[in-house]
Amino acid sequence: MNLLFLIFIIAKTNAETFFIFVFMEKYPGFVNDSPFVDWNPDPVIFFIPGTERPIVWYGLLFALAFVGSFYLMNKIFRKENRSQKDLDLLTLYVIAGTVLGARLGHCLFYGPWFGEDGYLSHPLNMLKIWEGGLASHGGAIGILIALFLYTRKTKENIWWILDRIVIAVSFSGMCIRIGNLMNSEIIGRETNLPWGFRFIQDGIERSFGSIHYFNSIPYDDQVKFVESIPARHPSQLYESIFFLFLLVGCYFLWQKKKYKWPAGFMFGLFISILFTFRFCIEFVKEVQVSFESSLPIDMGQLLSLPFIAAGIFIMILARKKNKFHAVPKEVGKK
């Protein structure tokens, strides 16, 4: 939460401070006393000394998602008397499932599928993760497959894992959406609301293709263009705040209800709420790829519907079976 607050203050101020030098690159045309947030962070934090390899915000926050998730799951495993060895194995499975699922999800759900750059025409292009392109719905499917394989190997009850990993998923979602914000990607539709963000980098790339070409045009034209960039919904910020509330809610429910709710009910509730929100937030987000504009609802909404239905079904099934997670003996004595 402190990071979000810091980012907002840095974006809003027009003072030439050290922090703006680090986070924000100010182009001509930044509107003084603008009612909106002029947003243009440098995706690169710094370059590794002696190399041209950058450390980028998205990569750092993606790594933080896994580190923070490990910390949260470690706390859960210790409190419920699970072994460190099993947690280490779970971490490997989840990391692999997340990355592979998110990448394959992007390639298969959003394309392009055929042609010179098509993933089906050139399947090896799917391995080029460094070129970008990850899909959260694919990541969700990858995690579920990874957890299924993990429970088959360890004989752990899959509902026990699913009812607890929702805490880690909430934290990871928050970190990744902040990373999207720092990359000025997955932006929202145009808005006149006072908290709208003017995504300078995105506006330049949409119209000029690259910052290098933009820098080559006359200064006055640069000013006029930047001033014309419209404000948009900061949909990444909406989602990161939602994930923060989801994290707090899931952690509270785990503490209070882990042995009182039927096995699987918390997971079903989680995916129902998460993907209902995801369905709704798409109404204020720009489409990811052009073909979505011809659909009655966009791809993110189409992919969310099965998850919502599955969540409701799992809650009903959990209530019907009415089986509860066993309380470990050591926990029961406390």
As a whole number of angstroms, the distance between CA 197 and CA 185 comes to 12
pLDDT over threshold 80, residue 292: no
Give the residue with greater pLDDT, 136 vs 265. 265
Residues in the chain: 334
pLDDT, tens digit, 9 for 90 and up, residues 237-248: 999 999 999 999
- The pLDDT of 276-282, averaged and rounded, is 96
Do residues 121 and 114 make contact, with C-beta atoms less than 8 angstroms apart?
A: yes
Please name the residues in contact with 250: beta carbons below 8 A apart, sequence gap of 6 or more.
Answer: 166, 167, 170, 266, 270
Indicate the range of 67-76, 126-135, 274-283 predicted with least confidence: 126-135
pLDDT, tens digit, 9 for 90 and up, residues 144-197: 999 999 999 999 999 999 999 999 999 999 999 999 999 998 999 999 998 999
pLDDT, tens digit, 9 for 90 and up, residues 45-82: 888 888 888 888 988 999 999 999 999 999 999 999 99
pLDDT value at position 9? Answer: 38
Give the residue with greater pLDDT, 5 vs 264. 264
**Confidence band, pLDDT 50/70/90 cuts, at residue 254:** very high
Report which DSSP code applies to 39: E
pLDDT value at position 4? Answer: 40
- The pLDDT of 213-240, averaged and rounded, is 90
pLDDT value at position 31? Answer: 53
Mean pLDDT of all residues belonging to the chain:
85
pLDDT value at position 118? Answer: 78
Do residues 41 and 184 make contact, with C-beta atoms less than 8 angstroms apart?
A: yes
pLDDT above 90 coverage of the chain, percent: 51
pLDDT over threshold 90, residue 33: no
- The pLDDT of 290-319, averaged and rounded, is 90
As a whole number of angstroms, the distance between CA 130 and CA 111 comes to 16
**Confidence band, pLDDT 50/70/90 cuts, at residue 30:** low
Give the residue with greater pLDDT, 266 vs 15. 266
As a whole number of angstroms, the distance between CA 250 and CA 248 comes to 6
Indicate the range of 26-30, 109-113, 264-268 predicted with least confidence: 26-30
Structure tokens at 74: 């470690």
- The amino acid present at 279, given as its one-letter code, is F
Structure tokens at 54: 């950058």
As a whole number of angstroms, the distance between CA 105 and CA 299 comes to 11
User: What per-residue string of b and e applies to 203-238 under the rule 16 or more CB within 10 Å gives b?
Assistant: bbbeebeeeeebeeeeeeebeebbeebebbbbbbbb
pLDDT value at position 120? Answer: 80
Give the residue with greater pLDDT, 216 vs 115. 216
pLDDT value at position 37? Answer: 86
